[in-house]
Structure 1
Amino acid sequence: MKIFGDLNSGNCLKVKWVSEAVGLRFTWVDVDIMKGESRTPEFLAMNPAGQVPTVLFDDGRVLAQSNAIIRYFARGSRFIPADDFGAAMMDEWLFWEQYSHEPYIAGCRFQLVYLRRRPEELDPERVRRGYAALDRMDEHLRKTRFLLGESVSLADVALLAYTRLAPEGGFDLSRHAALCRWIGEAEQDLGVASQTA
């Protein structure tokens, strides 16, 4: 299978991490979104939403949306709780990540890294909501090693992808000791090189 993605994107990285962790064989196809490579007629024929990551399976089927992809790739693995309620709690975090975390943390990072804006140009409400997401995670992680307990789940994978890059979006993690501890332990568990803030 082929995974189309941009290695600067947290959404794409989490798909790559899970693929590697569960031992899937794949070919990575770099897509530069800033050059419009996800908007070509060929790419749009495969994924009309024009987004990465996108997976093209050997049989021609296509799957998009990072959390749907990692949920599919990780079935039967250590990353999905065996009990139904645990799996539902994992899904709760996955939905929260896309709705209440990624738009603010990744959105600010996109402004600074991709569009080369200055920190003072960031939308203050977006920054406020980004810190609210980081605060919620830090408070939760003061009580538990990983988001669902003592082992890494897809909830951790999904939220690690952009949380570890939050400083690139102008967020100061120094007041989030539990969150910083979790970042290091989750990176170690996944065999991901540590992100220097």
Structure 2
Amino acid sequence: MSGPAFTLYGDRRSGNCQKIVFAADWLGLDYRFVDVDVMAGESRTPEFLAVNPVGQVPVVVFDDSRSLAQSNAVLLFLAENTALLPQDPFLRAKVNEWLFWEQYSHEPYVAVCRFQMVYQGKGPGDREAWRVERAEAALDHMDAQLAGKSFLVGESLSVADIALLAYTRLAGEGGFDLSKRPNLTAWIARCETALELPSAAA
């Protein structure tokens, strides 16, 4: 095992938490997972708030007692000096571009629609129309950007792919049809193979 040992506090249903698991497992890092049931209020207990005062998952606590929250910040830290983060400054900036886009233009729409259906039991027709529209636009953008490309940045898997994969591969659970986005579905399958994940489509 290489890299820092840590404890990951997370909800296994959360794509933001799955990102960390995907990266840590691929990198062979030494960590333990502590389940935090968000819907049961476990992220709002005094004990959890002592770990992360914001009351959100994921959060990691390293063996030296330092902690780090925000999924993409954790990804960048874990990927430092590994194959998941390009050394070229421009390619690293392109990775950051995708990470920022994911949190601003993808996750609030794709992930929230999934949250409403998976966590809250709503049907596709109960989703907010404006949120659905933006989610569809985000998925269309990814499909267009992946034309002729194997991965989002450069020629190999990076944390940009991991960050976007987590919720994109589960978009069907949020009521979205990926079948008409061939570049996107091929990329999902490619990333799942690289990460040795079972197919979400199956």
TM range (shorter): over 0.9
**Match in the other structure for 1:111:** 116
TM-score, normalised relative to structure 2: 0.95
Pair 1:123 & 2:138 matched: no
User: 1:1-197 residue pairs with structure 2 within 5 A?
Assistant: 1-196=6-201
Deviation string, structure 1 residues 9-44 (Cα, Å, up to 9, x no partner): 110001011111112101110110000111100110
Counterpart of 1:79 in 2: which secondary structure?
Answer: coil
**Structure 1 residues not aligned, in runs of 5+:** none
Deviations 1:26-80 (A, max 9, x none): 1110110000111100110110110101101112111000000010011111110
Instruction: Provide the rounded CA distance (Å) in 1 between the counterparts of 2:131 and 2:92.
Output: 30
Aligned residues: 197
Hey, what's the Cα distance between the residues in 1 that align with 2:110 and 2:126? Answer: 15
Q: What's the % identity of the aligned pairs?
A: 55
- Residue in 1 aligned with 2:3? none
Moved more, 144-153 or 174-183: 144-153
CA contact (8 A) 2:117 2:123 kept: yes
Q: For 1:149 and 1:137, how far apart are their aligned partners in 2?
A: 15
User: Alpha-carbon deviation of 1:143?
Assistant: 2.7
Amino acid at match of 2:65: G
Per the normalisation by structure 1, the TM-score is 0.98
8 A Cα contact 2:8 2:31, kept in partner = yes
CA distance in 1, matches of 2:147, 2:89: 25
* SS of residue paired to 1:128: helix
Bigger CA drift: 28-37 or 146-155?
146-155
Q: Is the 8 A contact 2:36 2:42 kept in 1?
A: yes
Partners of 2:179 and 2:87 in 1: how far apart?
35
For residues 73 and 153 of structure 2, the distance between their equivalents in structure 1, rounded to whole angstroms, comes to: 19
Residues 91 and 154, structure 2, Cα contact 8 Å, conserved in 1: no
Q: Which runs of 5+ in 2 are unaligned?
A: 1-5
